[in-house]
């Protein structure tokens, strides 16, 4: 019997801390297998070519160092449920007294076994509360994964447009340098005076400053994305042009907002937290039942008289009728009720606001792209006119600079539109995994 008990006991195993960082130095070293979900098969992300925004988000969920503790948090919630599901052990006592003198004829002994009955009264609501708490942890962890995916997708989108803007700004610098050289040649032959150089030199300085700021932002974004993916800060890879869905129409947006409580993980987590708190209220009310221990005892005295019978031990609820626990659980439930109500309202307001902003920016982005296309057409016509000698270098540079500025404006608005689309998708709970992307690691080491 003792051997069986020893086998069932937990055994200590050390878990040493790492002595070196575990950052990957290329995408191939990342975890890229997405586990199968309830309604989706397992898949592998192709890390050998440029990545789209969705793949970047999945890689961040799978590899972000800040999410590595999630399996442990889920295991802790499961352990809490296991603990709540266990009944208290019965208590046993054994006594023996040797006969040392007197009229007795034998040694005395006593045996008793008892069980806490009050724990049985609160058992069901306690287990339901722990089960809801475990599901709450799962929903909250999913929400954390969504936040990481959103940040990674936004950073990848910014990196794509950083590269585009750096390229356009470098073209502006080259145009300005050519224009400046042309004006200097005119100044050298006294066709223009030195004052003609001033605006070009100022424009050149502004472009250099803007280019330096863009390159620093690009470097910062790369370091942020590498950190989210668990990569060394000098790793670079290709990012495809963002392809995002069109913003939902007003009627579709309202339908998505109405269904938010069934889809957004943070709202589900608050619902489950409220359910757990409600079960704790039930358990606290049931806990007003006086603490009672029932069992039986058997004994023999020194005169060899044997006896046995039931044993009952219970509290007299004169001072403590579990009022404090009842009040505390009710207050906790009320706080969670109000938090959920506030979050639901703020979420709906956020989604409507983002929808309105996205519609405005999308319209402006379309107009800016149309204007950029028209400016490109004018620049090509100016280039043809310059080749025929109809306009000079300064006029050609002005047309080309205007076209570049229009493209910068269009790219900036398209970037803003993409950022709003990603943020709105997260606010509406769409376009992201609906289940935790965690491997079941079993019992923690």
Label residue 445 by pLDDT band (50, 70, 90): low
pLDDT: which is higher, 251 or 217: 217
pLDDT of residue 2: 52
Q: What is the CATH number of domain 52-86+122-287+322-428?
A: 1.20.1600.10
Label residue 304 by pLDDT band (50, 70, 90): confident
Query: Do residues 313 and 114 make contact, with C-beta atoms less than 8 angstroms apart?
Result: yes
Label residue 194 by pLDDT band (50, 70, 90): confident
Could you give the count of Cα atoms lying within 13 Å of 69 in the half-sphere of its Cβ? Answer: 5
For 257-302, the pLDDT digits (tens) are 999 999 899 999 999 999 999 998 988 888 887 777 888 888 888 8
**∠ at Cα 192 (190, 198), nearest 5°?**
130
pLDDT at residue 211 greater than cutoff 80? yes
Contacts of 160 (CB under 8 A, 6+ apart): 239, 240, 241, 242
For the chain, give the secondary structure using H, E and C.
CHHHHHHHCCCCCCCCCCCCCCCECCHHHCCCEECCCCCCCCEECCCCCCECHHHHHHHHHHHCHHHCCHHHHHHHHHHHHHHHHCCCCCEEEEEEECCCCCCCCCCEEEEEEEEECHHHHCHHHHHHHHHHHHHHHHHHHHHHHHHHHHHHHHHHHHHHHHHHHHHHHHHHHHHHHHHHHHHHHHHHCCCCCHHHHHHHHHHHHHHHHHHHHHHHHHHHHHHHHHHHHCECCCCCCCECCCCCCCCCCHHHHHHHHHCHHHCCHHHHHHHHHHHHHHHHHHHHHHCCCCCEEEEEEEEECCCCCEEEEEEEEECCCCCCCCHHHHHHHHHHHHHHHHHHHHHHHHHHHHHHHHHHHHHHHHHHHHHHHHHHHHHHHHHHHHHHHHHCCCCCHHHHHHHHHHHHHHHHHHHHHHHHHHHHHHHHHHHHCCCCCCCCCCCCCCCCC
Work out the average pLDDT over 112-118: 86
Rg (CA), the chain: 36
Distance CA 374, CA 397 (A): 16
Distance CA 75, CA 441 (A): 9
Could you tell me which residues are beta bridge partners of residue 338?
Answer: none
Kindly list the distances between the CA atom of residue 440 and the CA atoms of 77, 227, 396, in Å, as whole numbers in the listed order.
Answer: 14, 24, 64
pLDDT: which is higher, 180 or 356: 356
Label residue 440 by pLDDT band (50, 70, 90): low
Q: Which two tokens stand for residue 205?
A: 């300085």
pLDDT of residue 442: 52
For 19-64, the pLDDT digits (tens) are 877 888 899 888 888 887 666 778 899 999 899 999 999 999 999 9
Work out the average pLDDT over 3-17: 70
Work out the average pLDDT over 103-114: 88
Q: Find where tokens 């009842």 sit.
A: 326
């Amino acid at each position: 019997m003792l051997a069986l008990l020893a086998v069932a006991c937990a055994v200590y195993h050390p878990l040493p801390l790492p002595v070196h960082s575990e950052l990957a130095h290329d995408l191939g070293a990342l975890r890229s297998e997405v586990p199968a979900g309830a309604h989706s098969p397992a898949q592998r992300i192709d890390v050998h070519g440029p990545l789209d925004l969705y793949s970047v988000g999945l890689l961040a969920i799978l590899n972000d160092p800040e999410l590595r503790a999630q399996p442990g948090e889920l295991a802790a919630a499961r352990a809490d449920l296991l603990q709540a599901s266990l009944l208290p052990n019965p208590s046993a006592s054994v006594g023996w007294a040797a006969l040392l003198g007197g009229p007795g004829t034998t040694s005395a002994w006593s045996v008793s076994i008892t069980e806490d009955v009050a724990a049985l009264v609160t058992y069901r609501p306690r287990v339901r509360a722990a089960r809801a708490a475990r599901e709450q942890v799962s929903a909250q962890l999913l929400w954390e994964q969504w936040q990481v995916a959103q940040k990674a997708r936004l950073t990848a989108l910014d990196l794509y447009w950083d590269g585009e803007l750096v390229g356009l700004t470098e073209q502006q610098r080259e145009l300005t340098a050519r224009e400046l050289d042309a004006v200097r040649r005119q100044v050298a032959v006294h066709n223009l005076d030195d004052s003609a150089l001033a605006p070009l030199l100022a424009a050149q300085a502004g472009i250099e400053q803007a280019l330096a700021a863009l390159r620093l932002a690009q470097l910062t974004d790369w370091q942020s994305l590498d950190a989210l993916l668990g990569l060394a800060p000098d790793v670079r890879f290709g990012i495809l042009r963002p392809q995002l869905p069109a913003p939902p129409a007003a009627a579709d947006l309202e339908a998505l907002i109405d269904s938010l409580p069934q889809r957004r993980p943070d709202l589900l987590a608050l619902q489950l937290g409220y359910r757990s708190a409600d079960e704790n209220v039930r358990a606290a009310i049931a806990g007003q039942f006086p603490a009672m221990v029932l069992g039986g005892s058997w004994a023999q005295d020194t005169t060899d008289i044997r006896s046995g019978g039931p044993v009952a031990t219970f509290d007299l609820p004169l001072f403590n009728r579990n009022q404090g626990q009842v009040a505390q659980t009710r207050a906790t439930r009320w706080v969670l009720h109000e938090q959920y109500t506030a979050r639901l309202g703020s979420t709906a307001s956020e989604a409507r606001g983002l929808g309105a902003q996205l519609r405005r920016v999308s319209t402006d982005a379309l107009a800016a792209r149309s204007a950029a296309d028209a400016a490109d057409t004018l620049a090509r016509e100016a280039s043809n006119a310059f080749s025929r000698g109809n306009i000079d270098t300064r006029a050609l540079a002005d047309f080309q600079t205007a076209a570049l500025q229009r493209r910068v404006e269009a790219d900036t608005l398209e970037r803003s539109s993409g950022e709003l689309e990603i943020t709105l998708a997260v606010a509406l709970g769409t376009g992201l995994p609906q289940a935790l992307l965690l491997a079941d690691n079993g019992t923690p080491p």
